[in-house]
């Protein structure tokens, strides 16, 4: 908290993340709680903290949301209590109470059992089973894995990080993911972070990346879906969610993930020993990475990537080019599920579809119009996956393999092909043959893509 006092106020166009409010003020709420019942404007105005915040404007936003939203007035207060209880439950976990880590050479504390420790030795393997790792760490995969990677990459030593602050920062990050989301939860974040680590190890990157690049990449990967409400941007817009208003209906979720990450970085004081200039640069560059995961921008990033590869002009000694490649790497990490082994990939497919269908169920219940791919009566996992692979994953990973033509890239493309064939087999069984990829993906329109079909 003291760190915030040393920082300038946030510019007006950069809203304060809800964490900053909830951790300092009298009320704790998540964006999903706002989905089921609005935060109390009076309580919001009671929050306090070092970051300047125009409470009257924000309160007006909430009031407008209350006035306009069908959902907020329709759902019982019971749901609100349930969500708030959930947050309290999380905050009472033993991790949050604080576990000190004496030094970076002794990071494997009692929370790891032998098997989890063993798994971390192979954290760079593409077939790393994040689901198993999450079970072995009692649901603390994101904290355990990211802490380990910070140590493995020498970041703790290089940036002279306080390991207790690092642990607390990671615990806050993990706890700000919604574990009730079938897909967009801390395990997805851990999976993306593990994939990012695999990409950072690729020769072209490992030869050129600086510790600063690695630091930003891991933080961005771990926080890229922070506080995800489990519904997509079009849903937030059509329900007049305050985040949609706050971010003017543009990259609403990604902006929220980024600003939430900034809030936690400041609150943790993890980089309080760095210059203000460097901290601001870090916040801005993490934002560039997270915002790149907005699937509605996929075509722009992809054509830029393709142009660079066609011209052969990528120069990784250039910090801007490295930064661009890290954006592409994070995009790949975010939608790499279909490039994993069938056993892992299938589980992710089921989870993301469950989240889509849950959104569809809410939309049906409140007559909001069911979003594409979210109707459990008409959609199937196989159709959704085949469309996702065809229109989003294959084009991206084909370019990535041009950039980094390694064994890992070939492995990923191999799994992608096999998994697509498996889903086609399922599709044939279900339909009697002949169905193509889901046409909803063809339009590549942010308004039509469910739940960031980046699946993230």
Residue positions annotated with a catalytic role = 184
Query: Minimum Å distance from CB 373 to Zn ion?
Result: 16
Q: What is the DSSP letter of 297?
A: G
> Closer to Zn ion at the Cβ: 260 or 456?
456
Q: Please, is 309 exposed, middle or buried when counting C-beta atoms within 10 Å of its C-beta (0-12, 13-18, 19+)?
A: middle
Q: Is 254 in the site for Zn ion (CB under 5 A)?
A: no
Query: Minimum Å distance from CB 334 to Zn ion?
Result: 5
Determine whether the annotation assigns residue 225 to a binding site.
Answer: yes
Site for Zn ion in 290-349 (CB under 5 A): 334
Q: Please, is 416 exposed, middle or buried when counting C-beta atoms within 10 Å of its C-beta (0-12, 13-18, 19+)?
A: buried
Among 191, 225, 294, 438, binds Zn ion (CB under 5 A): 225
Binding mask 182-221 for Zn ion (x = CB under 5 A): ----------------------------------------
Q: Is 293:194 a contact under the CB 8 Å cutoff?
A: no
Query: Minimum Å distance from CB 218 to Zn ion?
Result: 15
Determine whether the annotation assigns residue 187 to a binding site.
Answer: yes
Name which of 32, 3, 7 is nearest 256 in CA terms. Answer: 32
Query: Minimum Å distance from CB 117 to Zn ion?
Result: 27
> Closer to Zn ion at the Cβ: 245 or 349?
349
Q: How far apart are CA 332 and CA 347, in angstroms?
A: 18
* Interior/surface letters 345-362, b for 16+ CB within 10 angstroms, e for the rest: bbebbebbbebbbbbbeb
Q: Is 217:41 a contact under the CB 8 Å cutoff?
A: no
Q: Please say whether the dihedral angle defined by the alpha carbons of residues 145, 148, 153 and 155, taken in this order, is positive or negative.
A: positive
Q: What is the DSSP letter of 184?
A: S
> Closer to Zn ion at the Cβ: 30 or 456?
456
Query: Minimum Å distance from CB 50 to Zn ion?
Result: 30
Q: Is 206:153 a contact under the CB 8 Å cutoff?
A: no
Phi, psi of 8 (to 5 degrees): -70, 165
Query: Using CB under 5 A, which of the segments 57-65, 91-99, 195-203, 223-231 binds Zn ion?
Result: 223-231
Nearest residue to Zn ion on Cβ basis: 456
Determine whether the annotation assigns residue 334 to a binding site.
Answer: yes
Query: Using CB under 5 A, which of the segments 54-62, 70-78, 222-230, 354-362 binds Zn ion?
Result: 222-230
Q: Is 201:328 a contact under the CB 8 Å cutoff?
A: no
Q: Total number of residues binding Zn ion (CB under 5 A)?
A: 3
Among 185, 194, 385, 456, binds Zn ion (CB under 5 A): 456
Determine whether the annotation assigns residue 273 to a binding site.
Answer: no
Q: What is the DSSP letter of 17?
A: P
Determine whether the annotation assigns residue 327 to a binding site.
Answer: no
Q: Please say whether the dihedral angle defined by the alpha carbons of residues 147, 150, 156 and 162, taken in this order, is positive or negative.
A: negative
Determine whether the annotation assigns residue 176 to a binding site.
Answer: no
Instruction: State the binding site for Zn(2+).
Output: 188, 224-225, 334
User: Footprint of Zn ion on this chain (CB under 5 A)?
Assistant: 225, 334, 456
Instruction: State the binding site.
Output: 184-188, 224-225, 334, 385
Instruction: State the binding site for AMP.
Output: 184-188, 225, 334, 385
């Amino acid at each position: 908290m003291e760190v915030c006092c040393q920082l300038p106020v946030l510019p007006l166009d950069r809203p304060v993340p809800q964490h900053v409010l909830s951790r300092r003020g009298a009320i704790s709420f998540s964006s999903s709680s706002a989905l089921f019942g609005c935060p109390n404007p009076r309580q919001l105005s009671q929050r306090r903290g070092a970051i300047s915040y125009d409470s009257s404007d924000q309160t007006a936003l909430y009031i407008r949301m209350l006035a306009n939203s069908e959902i907020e007035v329709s759902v019982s207060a019971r749901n609100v209590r349930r969500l708030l209880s959930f947050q309290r439950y999380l905050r009472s976990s033993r991790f949050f109470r604080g576990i000190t880590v004496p030094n970076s050479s002794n990071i494997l504390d009692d929370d790891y059992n032998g098997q989890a420790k063993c798994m971390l030795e192979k954290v760079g393997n593409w077939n790393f089973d994040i689901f198993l790792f999450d079970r072995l760490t009692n649901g603390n995969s994101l904290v355990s894995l990211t802490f380990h990677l910070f140590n493995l990459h020498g970041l703790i030593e290089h940036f002279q990080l306080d390991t207790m602050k690092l642990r607390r920062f990671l615990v806050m990050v993990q706890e700000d993911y919604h574990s009730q989301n079938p897909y967009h939860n801390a395990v997805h974040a851990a999976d993306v972070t593990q994939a990012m680590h695999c990409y950072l190890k690729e020769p072209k990157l490992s030869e050129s990346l600086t510790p600063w690049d690695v630091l930003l990449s891991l933080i961005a990967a771990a926080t890229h879906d922070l506080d995800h409400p489990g519904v997509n941007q079009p849903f937030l817009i059509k329900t007049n969610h305050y985040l949609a208003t706050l971010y003017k209906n543009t990259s609403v979720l990604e902006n929220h993930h980024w600003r939430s990450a900034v809030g936690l970085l400041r609150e943790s004081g993890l980089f309080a020993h760095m210059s203000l200039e460097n901290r601001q640069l870090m916040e801005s560059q993490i934002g560039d990475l997270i915002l790149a995961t907005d699937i509605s921008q996929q075509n722009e990033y992809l054509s830029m990537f393709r142009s660079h590869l066609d011209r052969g002009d990528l120069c990784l000694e250039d910090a801007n080019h490295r930064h661009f490649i890290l954006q592409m790497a994070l995009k790949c990490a975010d939608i790499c599920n279909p490039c994993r082994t069938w056993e892992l990939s299938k589980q992710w497919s089921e989870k993301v579809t469950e989240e889509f269908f849950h959104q569809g169920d809410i939309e049906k219940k409140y007559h909001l119009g069911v979003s594409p791919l979210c109707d459990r009566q008409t959609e199937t996992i196989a159709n959704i996956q085949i469309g996702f692979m065809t229109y989003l994953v294959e084009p991206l990973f084909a370019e990535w393999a041009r950039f980094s033509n390694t064994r890992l890239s070939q492995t990923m493309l191999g799994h992608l092909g096999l998994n697509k064939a498996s889903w086609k087999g399922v599709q044939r069984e279900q339909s009697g043959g002949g169905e193509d990829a889901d046409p909803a993906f063809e339009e590549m329109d942010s308004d039509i893509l469910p739940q960031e079909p980046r699946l993230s």
